[in-house]
Copies of this chain bind each other. A is one copy, B any other.
Amino acid sequence: MTSREQTMKNIPLLLIGCGGVGRQLLQHIVSCRSIHAKQKLHLRVVGICDSKMLLVSLDVFTMELDDAFLLEVCQAKLKGSSLLTLSNSGQHQVFSNPESMGKIIHIAALLARSTGLIVIDCSASSDTTGVLTRVAELGCCVVMANKKPLSSSMEDYEKLLACPRRIRHESTVGAGLPVIASLNRMLSSGDLVHRIVGSLSGTLGFVMSEVEDGKPFSQVVRSAKNLGYTEPDPRDDLSGMDVARKALILARLLGRRIVLNDIKVESLYPEEMGPNTMSIASFLENGLPLLDKGIQERVEKASSNGNVLRYVCLIDELRCEVGIQELPKNTPLGRLRGSDNVLEISSRCYNQQPLVIQGAGAGNDTTAAGVLADVFDVQDLFH
């Protein structure tokens, strides 16, 4: 036993999902080595999984994928290569799908009885719910940036959250903004949350503050796309479904037993301009401009009331909805500019004025930092 092993808490991690966030997380883990060492913590990456395969250290009890290899993974994935290009270095075993998920559960079962294991989901897949639930049942911890496992059926949700302290998911809402951590602190100390209003899409935040300045909606959406703020198909943002998923996660955190379909979602384009009937190019060129007048009229009406329009989620005792709201200019939400996220939380303790949390709500760096902060918090559960 080396001296590090004698004094360090050695926590195994397994990462599912090697996209932008997953790669950034691996880099953060490597660059935080000395910070974690000061806290007597060593994060030992025992496995990495993408949609095609799983790489696992040769002995999950004692060995890890070393830092040089983790950085090599980041580089390879950055170039768009699969993990396969790295699979011959001899320091790890390789499992292809569909074998991967079974193997992860096997590793979790082995490690749950000794050091514990933190399984991290940085994928965007809805197929991970089963494996995450199983590893949590086995006594492992789960950290998610992936919203899907938390926004499926109520039955799946309750199974996954059976031991809520083992499950962390800060980066599913507002990237690394301390939203979930703060809400959990309020809930665990009995502060009754009455109302959450939030702008949880940097894209739609940008769009709404630009149209407020009088720019046509179509032009704003096109520049958002050119700036890389939107998904490849901007309708994925404009549909509001991504915000609805975040609203669902927040509402369930407050104890609401609802599903995605229960949320009233306002789409910023009509059904007849949807992806099934219109190509992206045609939507941008022919569809979008038809929406300018309607949005402009709403902006002007709001303005004549001294208000502004924001695309928000609104959760209170009665409602859980997502869409455009007319809000007073003179509030954190009303003043929001650009792509920051902002959340106003009203509760017993924050009743005169809401608790406001505001800042960058997107980006791989901050999203991965939120995941790593969750990892650091949840490792307290292991000894």
Asked if A383 CB lies within 8 Å of chain B CBs, one says yes
The answer to whether B349 and A353 have CB atoms under 8 Å apart is: no
CA distance A181 to B191 in the complex (A): 17
A137–chain B nearest beta-carbon distance, Å:
15
CA distance A357 to B342 in the complex (A): 10
**Known contacts A185-B373, A186-B373, A190-B369: A358-B355 contact under CB 8 Å:** yes
Asked if A338 CB lies within 8 Å of chain B CBs, one says yes
Flag A51-80 by CB within 8 Å of B: 1 or 0 each: 000000000000000000000000000000
Asked if A352 CB lies within 8 Å of chain B CBs, one says yes
On chain B, the residues within 8 Å of A350 by CB distance are 359-360, 366
Task: Of the listed stretches A28-36, A90-98, A220-228, A286-294, name the one at the interface; the rest are far from the partner chain.
Answer: A28-36
User: CB within 8 Å of B: which of A171-191?
Assistant: 176-178, 181-182, 185-191
On chain B, the residues within 8 Å of A340 by CB distance are 353
> Which of B177, B182, B366, B373 has a CB less than 8 Å from the CB of A188?
B373
Asked if A372 CB lies within 8 Å of chain B CBs, one says yes
User: CB within 8 Å of B: which of A1-42?
Assistant: 28, 31-32, 35-36, 39
Chain B, Cβ-Cβ closest to A372: B189
A358–chain B nearest beta-carbon distance, Å:
4
On chain B, the residues within 8 Å of A372 by CB distance are 188-190
Query: How many interface residues does A have (CB within 8 Å)?
Result: 52
Asked if A156 CB lies within 8 Å of chain B CBs, one says no
CA distance A357 to B39 in the complex (A): 26
Residue among A31, A349, A383 with the highest chain B CB neighbour number at 10 A = A349
Asked if A198 CB lies within 8 Å of chain B CBs, one says no
Task: Of the listed stretches A295-303, A310-318, A374-382, name the one at the interface; the rest are far from the partner chain.
Answer: A374-382
A76–chain B nearest beta-carbon distance, Å:
23
Chain B, Cβ-Cβ closest to A190: B32
CA distance A338 to B31 in the complex (A): 42
> Which of B360, B363, B381 has a CB less than 8 Å from the CB of A380?
B381
**Known contacts A335-B335, A358-B356, A381-B380: A190-B28 contact under CB 8 Å:** yes
The answer to whether B359 and A355 have CB atoms under 8 Å apart is: yes
The answer to whether A369 and B186 have CB atoms under 8 Å apart is: yes
Flag A146-180 by CB within 8 Å of B: 1 or 0 each: 00000000000000000011000010000011100
A228–chain B nearest beta-carbon distance, Å:
15
Chain B, Cβ-Cβ closest to A353: B340
User: CB within 8 Å of B: which of A116-149?
Assistant: none
On chain B, the residues within 8 Å of A210 by CB distance are none
CA distance A185 to B360 in the complex (A): 15
Residue among A177, A188, A340 with the highest chain B CB neighbour number at 10 A = A188
Asked if A256 CB lies within 8 Å of chain B CBs, one says no
On chain B, the residues within 8 Å of A264 by CB distance are none
On chain B, the residues within 8 Å of A165 by CB distance are 39, 380
Asked if A348 CB lies within 8 Å of chain B CBs, one says yes
Can you show 18 pairs from A to B with CB atoms below 8 A apart? A28-B189, A28-B190, A32-B189, A35-B187, A39-B188, A176-B349, A178-B178, A178-B181, A178-B182, A181-B181, A181-B185, A185-B370, A188-B372, A189-B371, A340-B353, A350-B359, A354-B359, A383-B383
What residues of chain A have their CB less than 8 Å away from a CB belonging to chain B?
A: 28, 31-32, 35-36, 39, 164-165, 170, 176-178, 181-182, 185-191, 332, 335, 338, 340, 348-350, 352-360, 363, 365-366, 368-373, 376-378, 380-381, 383
